[in-house]
Amino acid sequence: MSRAKRTILMLAMIELLLAGLWLYLAHMAATSTGVSPEAPRVIGRTMGGAMGLILGLSPALYLLARSNDRKAAAKKGE
């Protein structure tokens, strides 16, 4: 499997992990007693920021992986 494909798969898995963590934390904040009313908003903003950061870095990581694939293919062809 190429590095570009592995990069895409890992980024998707990280996004799914963050989404699952977001749902878990939001559920815990909604059902627990004694939790601040601001908790769901803070959790949403924090997890949204983390997911946005990963999504923002993904094109650069993909291009880097694709470049490394091309360099490895050229070196293997020598």
How do residues 10-31 score in pLDDT, each as one tens digit?
Answer: 999 999 999 999 999 999 988 8
List, for residues 19-70, the tens digit of each pLDDT value.
999 999 999 988 888 888 888 899 999 999 999 999 999 999 999 999 999 9
**C-alpha neighbours within 13 Å on the C-beta side of residue 26:** 15
Spatial distance between the Cα atoms of 3 and 9, rounded to a whole number of angstroms:
10
3-state helix, strand, coil in the chain (%, to 5): 85, 0, 15
